[in-house]
Amino acid sequence: MFRLLRFYSPIALLHLYVGARLIPDLLITGWPAVVAVSWWLLVSAIVIPFAFNSRPSAMRWVSVVLAWTGLIAMGMFSSLFVLTLLRDGALLGGFTLSLFLVIEEPLQQFRAWSALAVPLIATLLTAVGFVNARRRAKVRSVDVPIAGLPAALHGFTIAQISDVHIGKTIKGRHLNAIVDAVNGLNADMVAITGDLVDGTVAELSMHTASLARLNSRHGSFFVTGNHEYYSGVRSWVNEIRRLGLRVLMNEHVVLDHEGSDVVIAGVTDFNAGHFDDSHQSDPVAALAGAPADAGVNVLLAHQPRSAFAAHAAGYDLQLSGHTHGGQFLPWNFFVRFQQPFTAGLHRLGKLWVYTSRGTGYWGPPKRLGAPSEITHLRLVPA
């Protein structure tokens, strides 16, 4: 009971805060707005806990509806809460000005229309974010300049997908469209940089089957993300291998491309050692024994913060994901406090780091200011 209260109490208190800040001023605009916002806050507080805690039931559609409703409500409430905080900041500023200027009437008008604007804007942002999240990720083309790149590797291409998060709301049909788009790129290799799934093999294997159709010159390579460790990593490693992908766990392969060597190394998730001591992430070990004269050394590492060890180990390029680019405003401004790179191509000494914004989404089906992507990287001479 205590654990249940500890889980529900913060959600209820945050909803009470929003209601207390908006509903009294909504009375100025009329009862329909008060009823609509009050009803939504009540439903939201009830269903959000089901976003991640719904379990398969005899009536499968009940679990599906609860999960979808809870996740959409979570995305909606995120915007509602942030906008309420911003409104309170503006009201505080207005109150401060009222100590020096006569602005009682304009301030009262602002209280009324802003109390209505906050839920309306939150609804609009949620709707736009839903459309952005649910459509298939667009292809993003990126040139990576590599110093001393052999002529044989000029134009070597990598198709990267990351953070698909197949699970409660992303299913096989969505992944199937992603696979079609990747195959259409005719890349030299495919890299999947973790967080492919949110659920067990038994629950999701039918939805990941299309990975077997991935097609490229040198094959497809996979590294684990933190969510694989929440979902039964050993079973997923076996399943992904069964589908024909090469899983790189602190190891590398050497690709012969037009007579020049490309080293493709991969590490387990940055925090994998917390789940399994034998899975401790190690970029140095992943490169051990690789040819010293390789044309380029590429590391697949789920989290961007592996870059510091990758730079010390002598890699030329690291491909990562994990951040989702923040997924939706304003959280993209906070990712940098947890990871060194939020999204896109960055330099760390001689190492290039590309961080994908993710090909799917996690949690709320919502993307704003951080579009999903299928990344088409091309190596070019510096």
* pLDDT, tens digit (0-9, with 9 covering 90-100), for 317-331: 999 999 999 999 888
pTM above 0.85, yes or no: yes
The boundaries of the domain holding residue 126 are: 2-133
Q: Is omega for the bond preceding 330 within 30 degrees of 0, making it cis?
A: yes
Query: Domain check: are 278 and 313 in the same one?
Result: yes
pLDDT at 66: 87
Give exposure, 85-124, as e/b (b: 16+ Cβ within 10 Å).
eebeeebeebeeeeeeeeeeeeeeebbeebbbebbeebee
* Both tokens assigned to 297: 């050394």
Query: Domain check: are 184 and 111 in the same one?
Result: no
Query: Domain check: are 98 and 54 in the same one?
Result: yes
Report DSSP state, residue 197: B
Pairing of strands 373-381, 138-146: parallel
Query: Domain check: are 97 and 220 in the same one?
Result: no
Distance, CA of 78 to CA of 72 (rounded, Å): 10
* Domain-terminating residue out of 133, 149, 184: 133
* Domain total in the chain: 2
264 near 298, Cβ under 8 Å?
yes
pLDDT at 30: 83
Query: Domain check: are 99 and 176 in the same one?
Result: no
Query: Domain check: are 327 and 185 in the same one?
Result: yes
- The CA-CA-CA angle for residues 119, 123, 129, to 5°, reads 140
pLDDT tens digits, one per residue of 336-378 = 888 999 999 999 999 999 999 999 999 999 999 999 999 999 9
pLDDT at 59: 56
Query: Domain check: are 129 and 157 in the same one?
Result: no
pLDDT at 5: 64
- What three-state secondary structure class fits 381? strand
Query: Domain check: are 88 and 156 in the same one?
Result: no
CATH number at residue 261: 3.60.21.10
In sequence order, which ranges of the chain are alpha helices (DSSP H)? Answer: 2-26, 31-47, 50-53, 60-98, 104-134, 172-183, 201-208, 226-230, 233-242, 283-287, 307-313
Query: Domain check: are 211 and 77 in the same one?
Result: no
Query: Domain check: are 211 and 288 in the same one?
Result: yes
pLDDT at 58: 46
* Domain-terminating residue out of 86, 103, 133: 133
Distance, CA of 204 to CA of 70 (rounded, Å): 20
* Domain-terminating residue out of 83, 118, 133: 133
Spans of the chain below 50 pLDDT: 1, 58
Query: Domain check: are 178 and 35 in the same one?
Result: no
Find the distance separating the first CA and the last CA of the chain, reported in whole Å.
61
Query: Domain check: are 250 and 342 in the same one?
Result: yes
pLDDT at 134: 97
